[in-house]
Structure 1
Amino acid sequence: MKLAFDRDVEDFRAEFAAFLDANLPAEDDAVERPQSSSDVPEWSRRWQRLLFDTGWLLPGNPPEYGGRNASLPQQLAHLEELSKRRIYHSFNPQGLGIVAASLLTFGTEEQKRRWAVPILRAEITASLGMSEPGAGSDLAGLRTRAVLDGDHFVVNGQKVWTSGAHDADVLLTFVRTDPDVPKHKGISVLLVPTDLPGVVRRPFGSITAPDDLDFNEVFFTDVRVPRANLVGDLNGGWKVAHGSLGHERMMLWLTFAEWMENVVRDAPAREEWYATLLMDLQALRLLGRRQLAGDRDPAELSVLKLLGSEALQSASLHALEAQGAEALLHPAVTGPYNHMTLETFTASWFERYARTFGATIAGGTSEIQRNIIAERILGLPR
């Protein structure tokens, strides 16, 4: 059996490929290389804006939100073409794939106009404020408080692991607004502009990239946030959280599939484990297409996230071991450097493997995913 798209989808792909050939930023224009996923140079803002204006940013969206009402198979072809060419369509992936997507699902028309569209057009950047020092995988345990005072919320607390917060214009922030109900029922979501008094952001590196200051601690001290910035219902943040995590896990699936595609291209094909890598990649593709094809239980995204992150880690480890000592060497870059190319794929195999540990944590740890699958899909006791 050969899996293939219909002619209309391949025509759509060809149109997008022609657009890329004609419009990719020139090397001379892309001299400013981003130091992290949150550092957004002006040329990349222009690139994202062009994608938005031409309907190629998120083709499944309506035109007013950067798309062209593309079908699901067409959206997949669009994503595959980006992956094949190793191209970013945004250097603010959290803003594009999680925050703006959540606002389009749960936000008011005013919030979509005021926040979602500028994020999609790269006029502002956004970050996701979920995890806290004592509430990582257990999101319902968050303690950042927001007390309603007239037409404002007063926010106090701390977030951590907040990717891109130091460059973000706004944070989609999960806060506790009712401490007297079961913990998952007292959560709300606020759009917190980072220039408000009382917001402090402290970036820090990671063990795999100490100079890449992408992670942040964010502190809120008596921050007054307009009530109009409430996303969804008061104390209805758990529903928004599920939607946001669904967007994040779907975004992570696309990332895992992209990384796996490149492991397939770069890894030595003569090794026995290579066949397992190909089967895992095909399973990941098919499960992802199944999720995109309809409205399914968000718990099924846990299967996708678990498979993707752990298959990627296993494949990267095998590739690392196959390379031996050479796996520690950074590959030489020859010829003109394409600044649209994902930096991940110019790293040494050791760096690539080390980064997969973050993949098993972001969006919910593998342990949490197994609990969700056991309880909500298999019906096993807690």
Structure 2
Amino acid sequence: MTLIEIFEESISVLRTNKMRTALSTLGIIIGIGSVITLMTLGQASQQSVRSRIQSLGANLLTVRPGSSQQGFLFGGQGSNTTLRYEDALAIQNSQRVNTIDSVAAEYSSRTQISSDKGNTNASVAGIAGNYFELRNITLSVGSEITEEHNQITAKTAVLGPEISTELFGEGVNPVGETININGQAFSVIGVTKSKGGNLDDMIFVPLQTAQKILFGVSHVSTVYVGAKSEDGMEAARNQLGYLLLERHRKTSPEEADFSIFSQEDLLETASEVTATFTALLTGIAAISLIVGGIGIMNIMLVTVTERTTEIGLRKALGAKRKTIITQFLMESVVLTISGGIIGVSLGLIASHFLTKRFSLPSIISWESVGLAVIVSSVIGIVFGLYPAYKASKLQPIEALRYE
């Protein structure tokens, strides 16, 4: 028999018991569909995080207090209160740091927010310096927080678009309205354009107001520094680091109580986290493929038993062991590839729905599609090999006597 004839016969055999065939492929369908969905979502999440970080600008350095992860130039063990607004001012005014052109500081914390039309719990960021410029935030209406607002500890606020909608309703201009932040009345002076992520859900107030009136703190959460050029990033990081070491009375980078991140560092960390998470979930989903493969093997063993007489008759008429093995392997591979194709289709549909649901970029992972087809074939061969071998070992006389 030719391969085409064997293939056609395999299709015919599988069609004779459609329910068994469908149940046999169910494990493969679930496994392949899960792997496709998780790999696609992982890549979409990675792309989303990468786009958001890159949107902040290639020349941005981020300084944070406390311990850092391995791989950054400066970073040691410390509390999260080691950075002060005075550090940002020192960076801005230092003659030694000549590779930067703008600085901003932020202190953020979650608290209760209310208006006449609603209330919620949201993140409030006290800001100073060129914050909106460095973070590429623009306004859809109103005006920004200024240095004058900081000097007089003004109770003014700029809302993200999501929090604006939550407090005042869709399409309402809240400029001039009053909101209560932690029991204090603030006048809304602007609304930012949507950037995606948590920035759309934040409220921005003057840093001095946040520190002295709202939260009673003297430290900042983050200092943002804009380098003059992308080529000067490393020099800027060095100058920043040694200036802050001197201000914090530390003698070496190993003693630093702050961390300096570049956009490259953040991209690398985000990529590692999403890749690890995706690999973990994909590995868990892949277990169902093994379960599906075992199910295929069980069904094929049952099939061999049911068709013992047929196998004996074929061998008595001169069928070779190779032909018997090929026949049963073909049936196993057809089962798994059919399940793989259905699983790929369902996985792509689920991925499309979930990426839209969570506002992620729509990505088709063709690598995972190709891998799924290959894996389906391999599962069919591996788990179909033993039943095929068992069928080929049957003796014609014993097989013909089997009832």
Q: TM-score range by the shorter chain?
A: under 0.3
Work out which of the two has the higher radius of gyration on C-alpha atoms and give 1 or 2: 2
The alignment's TM-score, normalised by the length of structure 1, stands at 0.23
Higher percent of residues as helix: 2
Q: Relative contact order, CA 8 A, sep 6+: which one is greater?
A: 2
